């Protein structure tokens, strides 16, 4: 009897593990570096500023200067149906980004989803400031 109960339990556990697998943003090497005076980064001169860069990550980068003055960087690839590699776009004002394919929105302070159908945060990269140089890598 104990074997039957244990068998049923193991079967239920195995079935509970089966479900729709969530796609994640692929890991690709990112190594961006530029002076903070670079014209592409001028909008980062004050908190709340954001810029979009193409050619890095899966669908490009969004670099944002948080309200406390720190810098964060995310992959532009939306976490909603990431296999489509839909690149998020900056909203105005620049506190959120929107996935034009699904309508999902993400908060740039921490990358969290703020509007459905998004459930997962944007993929975040490491940002380093060395002197007057901003570096984004993983």
Q: Tens of pLDDT along 71-103?
A: 999 999 999 999 999 999 999 988 999 999 999
pLDDT bin (cut points 50, 70, 90) of residue 24 is confident
- Residue 40 pLDDT greater than 80, yes or no: yes
CATH of 27-137, one of 2.102.10.10, 3.40.50.150, 2.40.50.430, 3.90.226.10: 2.102.10.10
Give per-residue pLDDT as tens, 112-122.
999 999 999 99
Say what the alpha-carbon torsion angle 53, 105, 137, 46 is, to the nearest 10 degrees: 70
- 108 token code pair: 């740039």
Helix (H, G, I), strand (E, B) or coil at 62: strand
Tokens matching residue 71 = 């810098």
The phi and psi torsions of 133 (rounded to 5 degrees) equal -115, 130
Q: Where are the alpha helices (DSSP H) in the chain?
A: 2-17
Q: What are the DSSP calls for 86-106, one per residue? A: PBPEE-SSTTEEE-TTT--EE
What pLDDT does residue 23 have? 67
pLDDT at 19 over 80: no
> Is the bond preceding 117 in cis, omega lying within 30 degrees of 0?
yes
The pLDDT value given to residue 60: 97
Polymer length of the chain: 138
Q: CA 77 to CA 128: how far, in whole Å?
A: 21
- The pLDDT of residue 21 is 53
Q: Per mean pLDDT, which range of 9-23, 43-57, 64-78 is the poorest?
A: 9-23
Structure pTM? Answer: 0.83
Q: Taking 50 as the threshold, does the pLDDT of residue 70 lie above it?
A: yes
* Rounded Cα gap, residues 82 and 99, in angstroms: 11
Residue 75: strand, helix, or coil: strand
């Amino acid at each position: 009897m104990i074997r039957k109960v244990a068998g049923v339990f193991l079967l239920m556990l195995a079935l509970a593990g089966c479900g729709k697998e969530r796609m994640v943003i692929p890991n690709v090497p990112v190594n961006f570096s530029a002076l903070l005076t670079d014209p592409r980064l001028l909008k980062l001169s004050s908190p709340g500023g954001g810029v979009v860069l193409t050619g890095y990550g899966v669908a490009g980068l969004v670099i944002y200067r948080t309200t406390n003055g720190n810098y964060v960087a995310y992959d532009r690839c939306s976490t909603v149906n990431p296999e489509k590699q839909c690149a998020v776009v900056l909203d105005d004002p620049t506190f959120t980004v929107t996935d034009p394919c699904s309508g999902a929105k993400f908060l740039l302070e921490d990358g969290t989803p703020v509007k459905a159908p998004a459930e997962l945060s944007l993929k975040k990269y490491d940002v380093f400031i060395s002197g007057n140089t901003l570096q984004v890598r993983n």
